Amino acid sequence: MLVRLLFLSSVLLICVGSANAGKTSGFTRNEWPSIDIPLDNEVFAVPKGYNAPQQVHITQGDYDGKAVIISWVTPDEPGSNKVQYGLSEGKYDFTAEGTVQNYTFYDYKSGYIHQCLVDGLQYDTKYYYEIGNGDSSRKFWFQTPPKIDPEASYKFGIIGDLGQTYNSLSTLEHSMQTGTQAILFVGDLSYADRYENHDVGVRWDSWGRFVERSAAYQPWIWSAGNHEIEYFPQMREVIPFRNYLHRYPTPYPASESSSPLWYAVRRASAHIIVLSSYSPFVKYTPQWKWLRQELKKVDRQKTPWLIVLMHAPIYNSNEAHFFEGESMRVVYESWFCQYKVDVIFAGHVHAYERSYRISSLRQNGSSYPVPDKSAPVYITVGDGGNQEGLAKKFRDPQPDYSAFREASYGHSTLEVKNKTHAIYHWNRNDDGKRVQTDTFVLHNQYWGNSRRRRKLKKKVLDYAIANL
């Protein structure tokens, strides 16, 4: 009896553990030209009025979601650093005061970049805010997340490698239709580094105006990609990430990080860890030490969902950038499995791909992934639509670890329902329409199926033993 039960349950486990054949979608469409939208297009319009605030964006300002950092640029003079805010439109009971800075990049001079921490907010509340003065002032709003709670539902959007083309605009508009509450951005923002000299700064500014339509109203959780490095000795600009770091603050001190390039936030029922593919990460580096500590802080009783963001994917089967994430895999993969990360989102490869739960941990240090129930799902969404175009060439045949792949533009949503279930969609941009293409239910790695299965199995076995 016991033997038969053990046999049956191992058959069950094998079925669950082994990967189904993956799918390579042959979908093709008339791609819009991968060119940046001209600067005089209305999507980059400068708001009316003298010194009017522009490039407004918000990000989480603390560890648990009771603060936002509001950032904006004034073009003509420093102006006010104040944010007025409150619970109803036009009636502001509170004021916060921020800081202002400016910088040069080659022969470009930035506007006045304001950053203002608005903290002590209530959870799950809509706030209205206003910045700027008189006729040039501008109004926005945002919604704070629910308090940290294992059963809290929350809808994230995931976007990568966005740029500022017509395809980028389509991705941005589609993500605004899906009712996301915060965006997890997996790196490569403006692609301004494809320009020269003065125009680099100009295209950072246009990108800031471009994403404002979303980023002024919901927090974008930033991670840096290779296009943020901007190491330009020919322009005597050799300090990495200068434009990015001046413009896109992150709440890194709240997670005791020493760098804005890697940090963590908790939001609703999720613990989100942001890593930097382009900062030292090997053993004993600050990023490695920080991640080791941060993973110990993860409390799945409070935040069941553990999500990691990085730019260069660890598992991906596109010819573009193949194996570029391998060095980070070698250092961190065992932690990702040990701490049962639910999902890892990356960008970099300009196509969409999703893996099964796989790892190379039992492969003597070489990368040959096999099914591993403790491993994360790896998802690449570098398909935001930048001017470099799509990465159309996948490796053939499709490797066993790859569940679904398609070389077209789009973005994803992850709708956390409760502590066990999240609904995931990849939304393809289909000639301007949004089409839900790759959909699955993500079962929580800590609270989900396998734990229930283990409990169930133990019950069945206890029963069998009791009845021997």
Q: How far is the CB of 408 from Fe ion (least distance, A)?
A: 17
CB 226, CB 320: distance < 8 Å: no
- Minimum CB separation of residue 410 from Fe ion in Å reads 17
Q: Smaller CB distance to ligand NAG: residue 101 or 338?
A: 101
Token reading at 187: 């790196």
Quick one: 200 or 309, whose CB is closer to ligand NAG?
200
Q: How far is the CB of 193 from Fe ion (least distance, A)?
A: 10
Residue 152 Cβ vs ligand NAG, minimum distance, rounded to whole Å: 12
Q: Which stretch binds Fe ion (CB under 5 A): 102-110, 132-140, 147-155, 340-348?
A: 340-348
And the tokens for 45? 């319009």
Residue 399: Cβ within 10 Å count? 18
Q: With respect to Fe ion, which residue has the nearer C-beta, 154 or 222? A: 222
Min. distance of Cβ 196 from ligand NAG in angstroms? 20
CB closest to Fe ion, residue no: 348
What SS3 state is found at 242?
Answer: helix
289 membership: H or E segment, kind and range: helix 286-297
Find how far residue 362's CA is from the centre of its chain.
29
- Side-chain half-sphere exposure of 433, counting CA atoms within 13 A: 6
Rounded Cα distance, 132 and 141, in Å = 15
Q: Which is nearer to ligand NAG, 310 or 442 (CB)?
A: 442
- Residue 319 buriedness (CB in 10 A; 0-12 / 13-18 / 19+): middle
348 sits near Fe ion (criterion: CB under 5 A):
yes
What are the structure tokens assigned to 101, written together? 């800075």
Q: Per CB under 5 A, which region of 50-58, 94-102, 224-232, 450-458 contacts Fe ion?
A: 224-232
Candidate list 110, 206, 218, 226; residue touching Fe ion; CB under 5 A? 226
What does 109 interact with, of ligand NAG, Fe ion, none (CB < 5 to 8 A by kind)? ligand NAG
Our CB check for ligand NAG shows the closer of 10 and 104 to be 104
Which of 36, 62, 188, 383 is the binder for Fe ion (CB under 5 A)?
Answer: 188
Which one of ligand NAG, Fe ion, none interacts with residue 417, CB within 5 to 8 A by kind? ligand NAG
User: Binding of Fe ion at residue 277 (CB under 5 A)?
Assistant: no
Cα-based torsion angle of the residue sequence 223, 295, 116, 110 in order, rounded to the nearest 10 degrees: -30
Other CB atoms within a 10 A radius of the CB of residue 265 amount to 25
223 near Fe ion, judged by CB under 5 A:
no
Out of Fe ion, ligand NAG, none, what residue 103 binds, judged by CB under 5 to 8 A for its kind, is ligand NAG
User: Which tokens is 131 given?
Assistant: 């910045």
**CA-to-CA separations, 253 to 63, 116, 156, in angstroms, rounded:** 9, 15, 23
Select the span of 39-47, 68-76, 97-105, 221-229 touching Fe ion (CB under 5 A): 221-229
Distance CA 230, CA 219 (A): 25
How far is CA 18 from each of CA 11, 204, 438, rounded to the nearest angstrom?
11, 45, 20
The answer to whether the peptide bond before residue 397 is cis (omega within 30 degrees of 0) is yes
* Least distance CB 456 / ligand NAG (angstroms): 16
Q: Which residues belong to the active site?
A: 321
| C-beta of 197 vs 279, nearer to ligand NAG | 197
- The answer to whether 105 and 72 have CB atoms below 8 angstroms apart is no
Burial class of 309 by CB neighbour count within 10 A (0 to 12, 13 to 18, 19+): buried
User: What's the closest the beta carbon of residue 265 comes to ligand NAG, in angstroms?
Assistant: 23
Residue 463 CA neighbour count, 13 Å, CB half:
8
The contact set with ligand NAG (CB under 6 A) reads 102-104, 109, 362-364, 417-418, 420-421
User: Is the Cβ of residue 292 or residue 455 nearer to ligand NAG in the bound state?
Assistant: 455
Query: Count of residues binding Fe ion (CB under 5 A)?
Result: 4
Residues found near Fe ion in the complex (CB under 5 A): 188, 225-226, 348
